[in-house]
Amino acid sequence: MRDLTVRYGDVLAVDRTDLTLAAGTVCGLIGMNGSGKSTLLKAVMGIVRPERGAVSIDGMPPHAARRQGAVGFVPQSEAVDWGFPLRVRDVVMMGRYGFQGPTRRPRRVDREAVAEALERVELSELADRQIGELSGGQRKRAFVARCLAQNARLLLLDEPFAGVDKRTEATLTHVLRELARDGRTVLIATHDLAALPRLCDEAVLFLHTVLLHAAPDVVLRPENLVRAFGVDVFDAGADAEGEASR
């Protein structure tokens, strides 16, 4: 990203942002609600048009990268119509559309890619279940499987650990680390600060622009977090737990 700026009317969501991620990297994108994290991901996908600046994915603009299947997106749960009559297998097969031509007729190689992706995220037994019948964690795994079937080189995940079970968190962490070892790039918008050190190689502290891009242990220092959150988030979390226990 170079000088990336995105507005919604008078609202400045992303302001003159520069960010470069290397292949084989898992990067955490952290900041409070309304800080522009989701807009940043949408700009990388080409879903929103920047007011100024540009995004390049392996030397391509976002629309070209999407057309080639180079970038995959795991949205927040709220952005999906879970009542749509699609099976889990159908959702994952969407990742193969770019390989199938206009007829969208799956070939053997497509079915094998879908089966392998479902196995990696431990959803093979639920492949014929309607997507809305899955738990929150299983739904997240299904959309990660879609990215795997797509063979995307860049994965963008918007709050993948929100409301998920420990099994899903462990499975996704394992899969994303494997993808990084294979040379893929992963950018994750997350509020789960405790998971950053074991999941991410680096982290970005974001408040409408990049405040800090460094190793997770550096970004998580209280004096840095307060720049984006305005409070010591770890102390605030401890206070909240104490109130709940009383």
User: pLDDT tens across 55-93, in order?
Assistant: 999 999 999 998 888 999 888 765 566 677 789 999 999
2 shares its domain with 50:
yes
In a domain, 241, yes or no: no
121 shares its domain with 176:
no
User: pLDDT tens across 147-164, in order?
Assistant: 999 999 999 999 888 878
59 shares its domain with 84:
no
Sign, CA torsion 180/181/184/185: positive
In a domain, 48, yes or no: yes
Rounded to the nearest 10°, the torsion over CA 98, 38, 121, 180 is 80
Domain with 6, as residue range(s), is 1-70+153-217
12 shares its domain with 116:
no
Number of folded domains that form the chain: 2
8 shares its domain with 125:
no
Distance of CA 97 to the CA centre of its chain: 20
pTM of the model: 0.86
Beta bridge partners of 155: 72, 186
Give the side-chain half-sphere CA count within 13 A for 122. 12
In a domain, 18, yes or no: yes
Average the pLDDT over each of 45-49, 66-70, 117-121, 178-182 and give the range with the smallest value: 66-70
95 shares its domain with 198:
no
Q: What is the mean pLDDT of the chain?
A: 88
89 shares its domain with 209:
no
Residue 36 has pLDDT above 70, yes or no: yes
**Would you state the structure tokens that stand for residue 132, as one six-digit string?**
């809305």
- Note the pLDDT of residue 244: 35
- Note the pLDDT of residue 160: 87
Sign, CA torsion 13/16/22/25: negative
